[in-house]
C-alpha cells in the first residue's frame, strides 16, 4: 500500500480533501467547529466538534454526497495570508482555531485557504480547484479525545483518502479489503486457531488445537536450531519476588508495564515481564572461565505485561506471551561475532518462512528522558556506539530510532508492517552492559582475574504469539504443509464403496507421522471438498473407484483446481519432501 504522507502529490491531494470534508460538514452542520485535519500514512482525517452529535455510517454517506456536490461545482481554492490579529478576528467563533492561532508566533504569517463560502487555516499547499478531488472515499469514523487527552472532550474523527485517478482509488480500496480479509483476528476465528473470552480477560488468548499444533511445530523448530548452535535450554518460574526486579532495575524502570504485586505471608511476588533476571541468576550459579564463553541460555518462557486495554490486539499484542528468549553471556571481544551469529540466525529463520519485507531498526535511548534508563551516559554512549559500529561493520542497512531502547541497553529490532498497517517488532537483539553489573556477574579471564561479561538478549521468533499473528496474515491462513494443523484431508467419494480404502490410506499416512483427517460424514462430495478448501488444508485426497481398484491416491492442493493421481509411495515422497524442505506453496 502507498504511504501517502511520503508521496508529495498525494499528500497535497489528501490535505485538500480534508478541507473539502470540512467544507461539506460545515454545510450540513453549521455549528460544527474544527480542530485539525492532518495527512496520515493512509490518507487524511479531520477532528470535528459536533456538539453532542455522534457521527454514524449514514452521516458519512450524507457528507460524502455533499463533498461530491462541491467537487462538481468546481470551486477555486485560493490562498490568503493574514497577520495573527487578522486570523484571530476571522476565526473568533471557533475556539479550536483560536487555540491554534494563539500558539503561533507573533510575527508569523498565517495562511488560510478559501474555497467558495468556506475558509480554513492551513500551511498548504493545496490543489487549485475542488474538481481535482473527485476520486475520494470516506473510510470510517471514530471518537478522538481533543489533543489526545482522555480528560478532554471527545471529538468526531472522520477518515478518508483521495487519489488522482479512479483506478488508483479502486486499487487502494481493494488493497484495504484484502488486508481486512487477512487480519489474523478474523482468520484466527474462521480457522479455529485461537480464542479469547471476557471471563478470562483482555489480551489473554487461548490457543485452540489448530493453533496449538502450529505453535508446537514452531517451538520444536526453533529449539532444534538453537541446540545445534550451542544454546542450552532451561525452565524457570513465571513468578519471582519483587526483590529480584529491584536488583535488575525493572522496579525502577519497568514497573508501569508489570502486573501489581501479590502479597502473601511475608512475601511479595510479581509475575515476570521478562526472563533476563532469572537467567542472570543461572549464570551466577556457577563459576565460569573465559574459555567457557559465550554461554547461551535459552527458554521458551511465559511473560506478563500490563499492556493498555486499548493497545491489546489479537495475538499481536497480548498480556501473557511466550518469548523465544535467550541471554548470551559473552566476553567483550566476542560481541561482534555473537551479534553477527544472532543476525544470521534471524535471516536463516526468515528464509524458512519467506519473510522478506522487514527493516532493521537501531533502537536508542531518549536523551530527553534519561530517568527511563538504568546506568549513566558514559556507559550508554559506549553501548550505542558499539552496537552501531558492529552493525555498520557487518554491513547491514538500518535506521535509527530514539526512545526505543530497552531500559538496560540499545536494541537491534527487526520491524515489519502487519496486514492492517501496524509497525511492530518481530525479532530483537539487544546489547546490555547494565544487568551484568547489577547482578555482579563475573568470569575468570586468562590472567585469573574476575571480569564482567556482556549480555546479549535476543528473541528470534520474538514471541510465539506475535509471530503466529504475523504468520497467519502472511500466509492468509494457508500454512505451508510442515506447519498446517491438518496436512491431509481424506475424502472418500462414496462412503459405501470407498470408506474402507479411505481408512487404509488414513492409517498409512498416520503411520508416517502426518496430521490426517478422514471426512467420512454423510455429505455430498462437493460440500466436503468446499469445506476442505475453507479450512485451507494443503492436500485434499479424493478416493473413488479408480484409486481403490488400482491402489492410487488422487489429490488436490489447496489453491488449485487440478486433480493429480499418483501412487501411494509417490504421494508419501512428495509430502515428506515438502515438509522436510519447508516448502511454501504459492497459491
Ligand atoms: C529478548 N529481555 C528481552 C529478551 O531477552 C525482552 O524482553 N525484549 S522485548 O521487550 O523486546 O521483548 C521481546 C519480544 O517480545 C519483542 O521483540 C516482541 O517481538 C515481543 N513482544 C513484546 N511485547 C509483546 C506483547 N505485548 N505481545 C506479544 N509480543 C510481544
Ligand atoms: Zn532479556
- Residue 463 CA to ligand 1 center (angstroms) comes to 6
Q: What is the chain's alpha carbon radius of gyration, rounded to the nearest angstrom?
A: 29
Distance CA 35, CA 379 (A): 44
| 465 within ligand 1 shell (Cβ under 6 A) | yes
| 296 within ligand 1 shell (Cβ under 6 A) | no
| 468 within ligand 1 shell (Cβ under 6 A) | no
Neighbours of 131 (CB within 10 A): 14
| Count of helices and strands (H, E) across the chain | 18, 28
DSSP designation for 375: S
- DSSP assignment of 113-149 equals EEETTEEEE------SBGGGG-SEEEEEEEEEEGGG-
Atom of ligand 1 nearest to the CA of 317: 27
User: Which ligand sits closest to the CA of 406?
Assistant: 1
Does this model's pTM top 0.85? My answer is: yes
- Residue 206 CA to ligand 2 center (angstroms) comes to 25
User: Which ligand sits closest to the CA of 430?
Assistant: 1
C-alpha cell read off for 552 = 492410487
| 340 within ligand 1 shell (Cβ under 6 A) | no
- DSSP assignment of 520-552 equals --SS-HHHHHHHHHHTT-SEEEEE-HHHHHHTE
Among the listed residues 106, 123, 126, the one whose alpha carbon sits nearest the alpha carbon of residue 115: 126
| 425 within ligand 1 shell (Cβ under 6 A) | yes
Report pLDDT for 1: 67
C-alpha cell read off for 183 = 487480519
Render pLDDT for 517-532 as a digit per residue (tens, 0 to 9).
999 999 999 999 999 9
| 314 within ligand 1 shell (Cβ under 6 A) | no
| 184 within ligand 1 shell (Cβ under 6 A) | no
Atom of ligand 1 nearest to the CA of 274: 7
Atom of ligand 1 nearest to the CA of 429: 1
Distance CA 46, CA 167 (A): 25
Pocket of ligand 1, candidates 466, 469, 471: which has the most ligand atoms within 8 Å of its Cβ, to mutate? 466
Name the helix (H) or strand (E) containing 445. Answer: none
Distance CA 341, CA 89 (A): 64
As to burial, measured by CB atoms within 10 angstroms (0-12 exposed, 13-18 middle, 19+ buried), residue 223 is middle
Instruction: State the chain's maximal CA–CA distance in angstroms.
Output: 93
Among the listed residues 201, 416, 441, 194, the one whose alpha carbon sits nearest the alpha carbon of residue 329: 441
Atom of ligand 1 nearest to the CA of 458: 1
Q: Which residues are catalytic?
A: 276, 305, 323, 325, 327, 411, 457
Q: What angle do CA 187, 142, 202 make, to 5 degrees?
A: 50
| 318 within ligand 1 shell (Cβ under 6 A) | yes
Among protein residues, the one whose CA lies closest to atom 7 of ligand 1? 274
| 466 within ligand 1 shell (Cβ under 6 A) | yes
Distance CA 434, CA 333 (A): 17
User: Which ligand sits closest to the CA of 466?
Assistant: 1
- Residue 467 CA to ligand 1 center (angstroms) comes to 11
Among protein residues, the one whose CA lies closest to atom 6 of ligand 1? 274
Report pLDDT for 106: 79
- Residue 192 CA to ligand 1 center (angstroms) comes to 25
φ/ψ of 264, rounded to 5, equals -150, 125
Among the listed residues 139, 169, 127, 166, the one whose alpha carbon sits nearest the alpha carbon of residue 60: 139
User: Which ligand sits closest to the CA of 325?
Assistant: 1
- DSSP assignment of 79-109 equals EEEE-HHHHHHHTTT-HHHHHHHHTS-TTPP
Render pLDDT for 242-299 as a digit per residue (tens, 0 to 9).
999 999 999 999 999 999 999 988 999 999 999 999 999 999 999 999 999 999 999 9
Which residues lie near ion ligand 2 (Cβ < 5 Å)?
Answer: 276, 457
| 211 within ligand 1 shell (Cβ under 6 A) | no
Report pLDDT for 315: 98
Among protein residues, the one whose CA lies closest to atom 24 of ligand 1? 317
Distance CA 45, CA 36 (A): 8
| 416 within ligand 1 shell (Cβ under 6 A) | no
User: Which ligand sits closest to the CA of 323?
Assistant: 1
For the chain, list residues with pLDDT below 70: 1
- Residue 203 CA to ligand 2 center (angstroms) comes to 22
Q: What angle do CA 224, 324, 477 make, to 5 degrees?
A: 90
Task: Find out whether 473 and 184 touch, Cβ atoms under 8 Å.
Answer: yes
Distance CA 123, CA 104 (A): 12
| 415 within ligand 1 shell (Cβ under 6 A) | no
> For the chain, how are helix, strand and coil distributed in percent, rounded to 5?
40, 25, 35
How far is the CA of 256 from the CAs of 240, 278, 305, 372, in angstroms?
Answer: 17, 20, 9, 11
Burial string for 283-309 (b: 16+ CB within 10 Å, else e) reads beeeebebeebbbbbbbbbbbbbebee
- Residue 462 CA to ligand 1 center (angstroms) comes to 6
- Residue 206 CA to ligand 1 center (angstroms) comes to 19
Task: Find out whether 383 and 410 touch, Cβ atoms under 8 Å.
Answer: yes
Atom of ligand 1 nearest to the CA of 318: 27
As to burial, measured by CB atoms within 10 angstroms (0-12 exposed, 13-18 middle, 19+ buried), residue 137 is middle
**Residue position matching grid coordinates 493453533:** 211
- DSSP assignment of 36-67 equals ---EETTEEEEEEE-TT----HHHHHHHHHHH
Among the listed residues 301, 302, 324, 315, the one whose alpha carbon sits nearest the alpha carbon of residue 459: 324
Amino acid at each position: 500500500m502507498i504511504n501517502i504522507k511520503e508521496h508529495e502529490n498525494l499528500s497535497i491531494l489528501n490535505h485538500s480533501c480534508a478541507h473539502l470534508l470540512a467544507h461539506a460538514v460545515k454545510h450540513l452542520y453549521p455549528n460544527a467547529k474544527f480542530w485539525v485535519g492532518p495527512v496520515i500514512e493512509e490518507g487524511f482525517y479531520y477532528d470535528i466538534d459536533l456538539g453532542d452529535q455522534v457521527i454514524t455510517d449514514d452521516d458519512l454517506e450524507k457528507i460524502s454526497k455533499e463533498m461530491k456536490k462541491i467537487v462538481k461545482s468546481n470551486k477555486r481554492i485560493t490562498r490568503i495570508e493574514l497577520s495573527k490579529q487578522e486570523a484571530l478576528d476571522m476565526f473568533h467563533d471557533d475556539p479550536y482555531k483560536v487555540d491554534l492561532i494563539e500558539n503561533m508566533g507573533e510575527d508569523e504569517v498565517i495562511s488560510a485557504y478559501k474555497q467558495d463560502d468556506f475558509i480554513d487555516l492551513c500551511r498548504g499547499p493545496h490543489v487549485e480547484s475542488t474538481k481535482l478531488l473527485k476520486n475520494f472515499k470516506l473510510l470510517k469514523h471514530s471518537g478522538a479525545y481533543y489533543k489526545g487527552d482522555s480528560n478532554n472532550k471527545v471529538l468526531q474523527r472522520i477518515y478518508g483518502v483521495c487519489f488522482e485517478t479512479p483506478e488508483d482509488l479502486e486499487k487502494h480500496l481493494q488493497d484495504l479489503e484484502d488486508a481486512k480479509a487477512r487480519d489474523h483476528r478474523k482468520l484466527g476465528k474462521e480457522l479455529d486457531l485461537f480464542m479469547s473470552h471476557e471471563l478470562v480477560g483482555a489480551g489473554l488468548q487461548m490457543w485452540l488445537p489448530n493453533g496449538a499444533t502450529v505453535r508446537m511445530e514452531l517451538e520444536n523448530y526453533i529449539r532444534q536450531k538453537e541446540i545445534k548452535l550451542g544454546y542450552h535450554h532451561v525452565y524457570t518460574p513465571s513468578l519471582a519476588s519483587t526483590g529480584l526486579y529491584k536488583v535488575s532495575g525493572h522496579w525502577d524502570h519497568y514497573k508501569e508495564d508489570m502486573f501489581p504485586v501479590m502479597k502473601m505471608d511475608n512475601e511479595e511476588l510479581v509475575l515476570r515481564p521478562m526472563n533476563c533476571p532469572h537467567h542472570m541468576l543461572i549464570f551466577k550459579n556457577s563459576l565460569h572461565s573465559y574459555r567457557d564463553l559465550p554461554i547461551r541460555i535459552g527458554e521458551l518462557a511465559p511473560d506478563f505485561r500490563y499492556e493498555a486495554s486499548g493497545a491489546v490486539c489479537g495475538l499481536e499484542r497480548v498480556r501473557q506471551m511466550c518469548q523465544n528468549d535467550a541471554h548470551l553471556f559473552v566476553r567483550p571481544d566476542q560481541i561482534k561475532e555473537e551479534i553477527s551469529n544472532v543476525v544470521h540466525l534471524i535471516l536463516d529463520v526468515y528464509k524458512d518462512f519467506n519473510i522478506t519485507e522487514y527493516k532493521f531498526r537501531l533502537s536508542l535511548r531518549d536523551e530527553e528522558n534519561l530517568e527511563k534508563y538504568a546506568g549513566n551516559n558514559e556507559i550508554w554512549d559506549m553501548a550505542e556506539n558499539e552496537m552501531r559500529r558492529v552493525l555498520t561493520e557487518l554491513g547491514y542497512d538500518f535506521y535509527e530510532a530514539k526512545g526505543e531502547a530497552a531500559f538496560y541497553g540499545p536494541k537491534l529490532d527487526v520491524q515489519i508492517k502487519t496486514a492492517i498497517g501496524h509497525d511492530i517488532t518481530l525479532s530483537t537483539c539487544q546489547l546490555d552492559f547494565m544487568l551484568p553489573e547489577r547482578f555482579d556477574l563475573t568470569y575468570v579471564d586468562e590472567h585469573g582475574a574476575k571480569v564482567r561479561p556482556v549480555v546479549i538478549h535476543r528473541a528470534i521468533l520474538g514471541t510465539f504469539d506475535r509471530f503466529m499473528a504475523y504468520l497467519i496474515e502472511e500466509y492468509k491462513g494457508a500454512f505451508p504443509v510442515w506447519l498446517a494443523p491438518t496436512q491431509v484431508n481424506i475424502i472418500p467419494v462414496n462412503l459405501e464403496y470407498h470408506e474402507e480404502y479411505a481408512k487404509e490410506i488414513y492409517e498409512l499416512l498416520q503411520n508416517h507421522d502426518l496430521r490426517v483427517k478422514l471426512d467420512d460424514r454423510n455429505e455430498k462430495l462437493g460440500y466436503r471438498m468446499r469445506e476442505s478448501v475453507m479450512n485451507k488444508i494443503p492436500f485434499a485426497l479424493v478416493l473413488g473407484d479408480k484409486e481403490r481398484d488400482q491402489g492410487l491416491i488422487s489429490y488436490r492442493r489447496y489453491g488449485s483446481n487440478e486433480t493429480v493421481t499418483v501412487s501411494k509411495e509417490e504421494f508419501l515422497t512428495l509430502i515428506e519432501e515438502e515438509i522436510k524442505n519447508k516448502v511454501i506453496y504459492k497459491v
